[in-house]
Amino acid sequence: MNLALLFDDDFIRTDRALLRGRRLEHLKSTLKVSTGDRIPVGRVNGAMGFGEIMTLSDQEAELRVTLEGSPPPGLPLTLILAMPRPKMFRRVLQTCASLGVKDIWLINSYKVEKSFWQTPWLADESLKENLTLGLEQAKDTVMPQVHIRKLFKPFVEDELPALLAGKRALVAHPGTATPCPTHLSGPAVLCVGPEGGFTDYEVEKLEAAGCDSVHLGARILRVETAVPVLVSRLFDACL
- For ligand SAM, the closer CB: 51 or 193: 193
Q: How distant, in Å, are the alpha carbons of 16, 82, 94, 168, 223 from that of 202?
A: 51, 11, 26, 19, 17
Q: Is 112 in the site for ligand SAM (CB under 6 A)?
A: no
Chain centroid offset of residue 30 CA: 24
Interface residue with ligand SAM among 144, 193, 209, 231 (CB under 6 A) is: 193
> For residues 52 and 106, what is the distance between their CA atoms, to the nearest angstrom?
39
Interface residue with ligand SAM among 159, 195, 207, 212 (CB under 6 A) is: 195
Q: Is 219 in the site for ligand SAM (CB under 6 A)?
A: yes
Instruction: Mark 138-177 with x for binding to ligand SAM (rule: CB under 6 A) and - for no binding.
Output: ----------------------------------xxx---
- For ligand SAM, the closer CB: 63 or 170: 170
The DSSP string of 146-192 is: EEEE--HHHIIIIIHHHHHTTSEEEEE-TT-SSBPP----S-EEEEE
Contact 117, 150 (CB under 8 A): yes
Stretch that binds ligand SAM, among 29-37, 39-47, 154-162, 191-199 (CB under 6 A): 191-199
Picking from 14, 29, 23, 59, the residue whose alpha carbon sits closest to that of residue 41 is 23
Stretch that binds ligand SAM, among 7-15, 16-24, 66-74, 194-202 (CB under 6 A): 194-202
Contact 98, 135 (CB under 8 A): yes
Q: Is 84 in the site for ligand SAM (CB under 6 A)?
A: no
CB of 203 to ligand SAM, least distance (A): 9
Strands 38-43 and 48-56: antiparallel
- For ligand SAM, the closer CB: 17 or 223: 223
Residue nearest to ligand SAM (CB): 197
